[in-house]
Chain A
Amino acid sequence: MACNTATCQSGGCYKDTDAEQQHPINEQNPSTNGVAPSEDNNHHPSNLCLKCKTNKSIAATAAAENGGRFCVDCFRGNLFGKFRFAVTSNALISPSDNVLVAFSGGPASRVALQFVHEIQHKAQKNFDASASRDRSLPVFGVGAAFIDESAICPVSSNEFDEALEDMRLIVTNLAPPRKKFHVVPIESVYSSDCCNGRDRLKELLNAVSDVTGREDLLVHLRMLCLQKIALENGYTKLVIGSCTSRIACHILAATVKEESTGSPLAWFMPNESPALEEGKLAERWDSIAVGGDADLEELEKQMDLKAEASRFFLEGRGYSLAADIQYVDARWEIPVVLPLRDCLMQELNVLCMLDSLKTVEVFNGSRVGINGLVTSFVKLLQEENPSRECTIARTAGKLTPFHFNKIPEADDCNDHLAIQRRQKKFNLKPNESLPPESFCPICSSPLNNSFTSVSGCENGHRSPEDFIATCCTSCQFQILPSEPSALGHFCSILPQQIVDQAKDGSCGNQRWLREQIKDCLLSDSEDGT
């Protein structure tokens, strides 16, 4: 499912040595790996396409391991097939949709745009060809969006204009049907009445001291920006070009970024070790030989208290990982779909090369900190075993997804769509016996602990401490500043959407709690405390 079964040798480490053993045998016994023996095999054993067995396979480069087994047509067909299968079997795009494709200019999003165009084009042809009385289903609309990050990552205006022109041309050429191309600066996450969005954004990112945290915050802001574009322009789905390779990196990065304070780990943090009275420590060590352990009791008591207090803290990434890597992510107002989830980056690169799909690199895409380390680690693993990315993605694919990892049921009736949106926003489902999922306002990861801080959201004033309590611990650690004064300032310059999400989330929980216990409440009036 996650990989091309014909060529993928995934199966974990166990296959590694076998694979090595088999390669020398391949020449003599090609049937083990599926290459059909033929008369002229004696001269060129692996030159024919695996699939059609007639055309010559693409010359195998060091990277195009998969491409090397197929001919051009079969390779393209195979890749497009994976895309189309993902779309149809998960109902990613329906006829009434208006689809926005996030287009960065890179190969993955270029292929996403291309493939989405192809199915739209086909749908349009069918529509035109069918008689008017048969035209029950409309053709879905497609647009493309590019996020201009020059506020953060300056590029020379010449380069930028040229790149933009190239992208505009690409989108224009993908017609009919015509597609709109939206170019939106990232500072638009701040509302338009805020005149210094650019400065505020720079200030916000500079307030994050951890490089990894800064990079991750930017990713979240990018998504907010895309959501905004989609909402303001009447789109109903957001397509992003995340491929297997990118997902594999995300899986490992998420695994290493977890942090929880709801366990004995709480008291491992610096500056939070229980402070022992002066002189007692020395005494303690002397008394050990004698057997006096009074200070140890003190130490233990303090640790007990700390562990107790931290039990209500929230947990992060390992729990939420499954949410990010499915075909559908319907946490958002506009559901996000990943039709290229089963395609490898190198396959996408090969396709761009074969079909001369122009790609544009505008901003420097190299990653730093933990993300950069993970990317180079996965690259290393992939070189050592070409099916590694598939295996990683498949392993994480076995984690239990969330209820929002499928397309929400909606009638085609537009009235219901609005109701659906509101329901999703407040996480109210009539027959849910579980507390509604709450999400971190910054990164939107689902939170494991339903008892978030339910301090007064009615009066509208939220202290920075209230805000922190609604965030996942990963964001608390790597994004939010630790100094109280810096934290207060940080909260004040966050985009409004993030602040609102924090408020809505905890209000939603409070409402749910009240709903559960309303029979036991004595008075009808709101609890003022």
Chain B
Amino acid sequence: MEEAQMVEVVKSKEHGGRIRQCTICNQRRAALKRPKTLEQICRECFYGVFEEEIHRVIVDNQLFKPGERIAIGASDSTVLAYVMSELNRRHNYGLDLFLLSVDEGITGYRDDSLETVKRNEIQYGLPLKVVSYKDLYGWTMDEIVKMIGLKNNCTFCGVFRRQALDRGAALLKVDKLVTGHNADDIAETVLLNILRGDIARLSRCTFITTGEDGPIPRCKPFKYTYEKEIMQNLNQQLRMHTLRGWITSPLNVSIYSPNAYRGFAREFIKDLERIRPRAILDIIKSGEDFRIATSTKMPEQGTCERCGYISSQKWCKACVLLEGLNRGLPKLGIGRSRGVNGERNKDVKQCGKKNIESKQCGTLDF
């Protein structure tokens, strides 16, 4: 008995003699500090505010309509799959949810994710479709990196991924695509666009829904959710064995990302978050508030001559990049064009027979 009492005393001394209470419910003991607000809260309240905030974002921005078919594009994001299906159930959104996964063909990175995705499918009963770069384009990321080296990988992967999601979504006949872009991602993008001088993208990158006039609109319900909180949510669930036996890579980071320019912005934002956590949201808000003239030259929307995908140029970026890969010209499509786009196409068409073309989208209604 005495021993137990000693332990009690020691414990309470560690806490300064006072046990920290959750600042929301004032009942349970605080289990963690909220990254966004630095509040000390208990686990249950953490789930509560986390989910409620996302629900508010969905409602306030009118992201969905009842009866819509929604593809969850970041299907290896357990948290997104869980939140979407949970909120759909709890608040009766009436949505038809699907999982859409992209296999980039990066050894060691995607293998784990695909396992997770398959478990998501089982856990939440959400139908799953996997589209791979190999099927769509004839190249895996590993093969691409072997060809182009370690610079500009993200350009290839990003462009291909975007099209892959759209094509996969079209195959599933969904109305909208949901991606797991979080507050950190969007803040990084705002900064990147300032640094790179891309005023057109700067005006669009904070939109919660994009592509409404395109093939498949996409929305980002995690727009105001901190990456750290998503990780904490996942962490908490793992500790509670809610996700028993699941494999999760600690941070879903591609092995090729350290060389990307985005890394500069990411490091800066990490440092910023340490000084002032709400700065991440501030960057997003600044991005929304920038006074950008609507007459600013925006690219005109057309379709790609080669594959029919949406494009502001004669050929979509994926086709241009593929052309480069197939011809052994890794820099094609990277950097500013030297001549008119048409000039390049002329050369291409003359020796086009040997190329592995990306699949024609004849059956897909873009």
Footprint of B on A, CB under 8 Å?
10-18, 21, 212, 251-252, 254-260, 263-265, 267-271, 273, 275-276, 278-279, 281-282, 284-285, 288, 293, 296, 299-300, 303, 307, 315-319, 321-322, 369-370, 373, 377, 380-381, 384, 388, 391-392, 394-396, 398-400, 448, 477
List the A side residues contacting B197 at CB < 8 Å.
10-12, 391-392, 394-395
B interface: dominant SS: helix
Which of B198, B291, B331 contacts A322, CB < 8 Å? B291
List the B side residues contacting A259 at CB < 8 Å.
278, 281-282, 285
Q: Is the CB of A307 within 8 A of B151?
A: no
Q: 19 more A-B contacts (CB under 8 A) besides A13-B192, A293-B90, A318-B289?
A: A11-B336, A14-B196, A21-B331, A252-B191, A256-B282, A257-B279, A264-B57, A265-B224, A271-B39, A273-B23, A282-B27, A285-B48, A299-B52, A317-B286, A318-B286, A322-B290, A395-B194, A398-B199, A398-B293
List the B side residues contacting A281 at CB < 8 Å.
24-25, 27, 44-45, 48
Q: Is the CB of B290 within 8 A of A377?
A: no
Judge if B283 is at the interface, Cβ distance under 8 Å: yes
Q: Is the CB of A381 within 8 A of B286?
A: no
Judge if B171 is at the interface, Cβ distance under 8 Å: no
Whole-angstrom CA separation of A192 from B313 in the bound complex? 65
Whole-angstrom CA separation of A314 from B295 in the bound complex? 26
Query: Most chain-A Cβ atoms within 10 A of its Cβ — which of B53, B197, B198, B331?
Result: B197
Which of A258, A377, A384, A396 contacts B285, CB < 8 Å? A258
Which of B36, B90, B261 contacts A16, CB < 8 Å? B261
Whole-angstrom CA separation of A127 from B268 in the bound complex? 53
CB-CB under 8 A for A373 and B38, given A255-B287, A321-B286, A396-B194:
no
Q: Is the CB of A17 within 8 A of B292?
A: no
Q: Which of B6-64 contact A (CB under 8 A)?
A: 23-27, 36-39, 44-45, 48-49, 52-53, 55-57, 60
- The stretch of B161-169, B269-277, B315-323, B342-350 in contact with A is B269-277
Q: Is the CB of B285 within 8 A of A265?
A: yes
What are 28 sample pairs from A and B whose C-beta atoms fall under 8 A apart?
A: A11-B197, A13-B196, A255-B286, A256-B286, A257-B279, A264-B60, A265-B281, A267-B53, A267-B56, A268-B224, A268-B281, A269-B37, A271-B23, A276-B24, A278-B26, A281-B25, A293-B90, A307-B56, A318-B287, A318-B288, A370-B279, A373-B271, A395-B193, A395-B199, A399-B290, A400-B291, A400-B292, A448-B289
Query: Most chain-A Cβ atoms within 10 A of its Cβ — which of B224, B282, B292?
Result: B282
CB-CB under 8 A for A270 and B194, given A265-B281, A398-B292, A400-B293:
no
Footprint of A on B, CB under 8 Å?
23-27, 36-39, 44-45, 48-49, 52-53, 55-57, 60, 90, 151-152, 190-199, 202, 224, 261, 264, 268, 271-272, 275-276, 278-279, 281-283, 285-293, 296, 331, 334-336
A224–chain B nearest beta-carbon distance, Å? 25
List the B side residues contacting A322 at CB < 8 Å.
290-291
List the B side residues contacting A398 at CB < 8 Å.
199, 292-293, 296
A323–chain B nearest beta-carbon distance, Å? 9
Which of A296, A319, A392 contacts B194, CB < 8 Å? A392
Whole-angstrom CA separation of A400 from B293 in the bound complex? 6
List the A side residues contacting B272 at CB < 8 Å.
256, 370, 373
B68–chain A nearest beta-carbon distance, Å? 22
Q: Is the CB of A399 within 8 A of B291?
A: yes
Whole-angstrom CA separation of A296 from B31 in the bound complex? 22
Q: Is the CB of A15 within 8 A of B90?
A: no
CB-CB under 8 A for A258 and B27, given A10-B197, A12-B196, A370-B279:
no
Whole-angstrom CA separation of A315 from B288 in the bound complex? 11
Q: Is the CB of A321 within 8 A of B48?
A: no
Q: Is the CB of B38 within 8 A of A270?
A: yes
CB-CB under 8 A for A381 and B195, given A14-B336, A264-B53, A317-B286:
yes
B106–chain A nearest beta-carbon distance, Å? 21
